[in-house]
Amino acid sequence: MLKLRNVLAGTVLAGALAAGVAAAPAQAATATTTTTANASTAAQTQYTKHWFEGYSGYSRGESRGHRSYYKGYYYFSNGRYYFDIDVWDRDRDRENTYVDFWYHDDRGWHQGRRFTTGGHNEYRFNYSARGGFDGFKFHIGEGKSGHFDWGTYYNRSW
């Protein structure tokens, strides 16, 4: 009986040891994957998003609910300012929505871009900080050429 107990204990011990050896590479791979995922997440979150939004004005015959709308964010990374903006033209008239993007640098204010939409669009662009980029403003309006219902500016300076 003593011999059988020793053989069974030895078999259990050998089985446990074999399972541990087999699991070690899997655990090492999991640790490596986790470390890589953490490094990737850290690289993506090195910047902070700054959110902003605004509405167009509205003319007689329109309600506040039909105003054009934009919402976006910007962040600074690797010497550049990155912008991501969604624009909605919320009424169903035949007028377009216009978004003017102005930026400021060492030489003054410049109109950087004008976006036009008749529905919903997303715009992504970036500017280098090397030229002294130190501020921007957005302006949204709705209308036809020569007559726009402009909203107020969203301003941001450093």
Query: Would you say the pTM of this structure is higher than 0.85?
Result: no
83-132 confidence digits (pLDDT tens):
999 998 877 677 788 888 999 998 999 988 888 888 889 999 999 988 88
For residues 74 and 83, the answer to whether their CB atoms sit within 8 Å is yes
Q: Where do the DSSP E strands lie in the chain?
A: 50-55, 69-77, 80-88, 96-105, 108-117, 120-128, 135-144, 147-150, 154-157
Backbone angles phi, psi at 25, to 5 degrees: -65, -35
**pLDDT (tens digit per residue) in 55-76:** 888 766 666 667 888 999 999 9
* Cα–Cα separations (whole angstroms), residue 76 to 33, 81, 105: 28, 5, 15
Taking every pair of Cα atoms in the chain, the longest distance, rounded to a whole number of angstroms, is 103
